[in-house]
Amino acid sequence: MFKTLLIPEIDRANKIISDFLRMAKPAEITTEEIKVKEFLYDNLGKFLNSKALLHNIVIEYETNPDMLHCSFQVNREELLQVFINLLQNSLQAAGSAELKIQLKAERAGNVIRFTFKDNGKGISESIIEHIFDPFFTTKEEGTGLGLSVSQKIIENYKGTMDVLSDSSGTSFIIDLPISNPENEME
């Protein structure tokens, strides 16, 4: 019995330490130029669609066809981790209700704007200003590092990550610089 209790706690402690170290001293990360279409449908879409089947989630994609060939410079795995964190939070916020997620990609000036919106219960005004603070959590099993690490990842790519929330759900808005703004119509 001791072994079955200890191993999950060791795994949890390891994740906390890894996340904290990622925030405190980001490692040298290899980036690549990725097209919006490739990331949205081939990478993130495959992951989200498999989770949708597993958890009975409805996912809607909305993109402007003109900007699908825009590209941005990131580490694919790190950006996927950001959206994995958002999905996990959405799943927990939905509770027993059917989760619906809208994922929108659009151009906003010289940035690609990803909006990840769920239909969860929303985040109360009293805590919304703290959700990106390291170790802030409202979850019994949470570390309070998921959103702060996610925001740091986006900032490392000279982007921004913001949140809007009300009783009809929460939207995370991620802006990443377009790496080829003059050639986005390729």
pTM metric for this prediction: 0.81
Q: How does residue 24 score in pLDDT terms, banded at 50, 70 and 90?
A: low
Distance CA 123, CA 111 (A): 26
Smallest CA-to-CA distance from 74 within 179, 185, 182 is with 179
Distance CA 33, CA 54 (A): 31
What pLDDT does 133 receive? 85
Residue 5 has pLDDT above 70, yes or no: no
User: What is the per-residue pLDDT across 141-179, written as a single tens digit (0 to 9) for each?
Assistant: 667 788 999 999 999 999 999 999 998 899 999 999 999
Which two three-digit tokens encode residue 134?
Answer: 């390291």
Average pLDDT taken over every residue of the chain: 83
Query: Is the distance from CB of 119 to CB of 100 less than 8 angstroms?
Result: yes
Question: What backbone phi and psi angles, to 5 degrees, belong to 63?
Answer: -140, 150
Which two three-digit tokens encode residue 33?
Answer: 């130029």
Residue 162: in which H helix or E strand, if any? Answer: strand 160-166
User: What is the per-residue pLDDT across 82-102, written as a single tens digit (0 to 9) for each?
Assistant: 999 999 888 887 777 789 999
Kind of pairing between the strands at 111-118 and 32-35: unpaired
Q: How far lies 27's CA from each of 17, 75, 84, 85, 152, in Å? A: 14, 12, 20, 19, 12
CATH assignment at residue 177: 3.30.565.10
Q: Which domain holds residue 133?
A: 2-183
Q: How does residue 21 score in pLDDT terms, banded at 50, 70 and 90?
A: low
Q: How does residue 106 score in pLDDT terms, banded at 50, 70 and 90?
A: very high
Structural domain count of the chain = 1
Beta strands in 50-99 (DSSP E): 58-63, 71-74
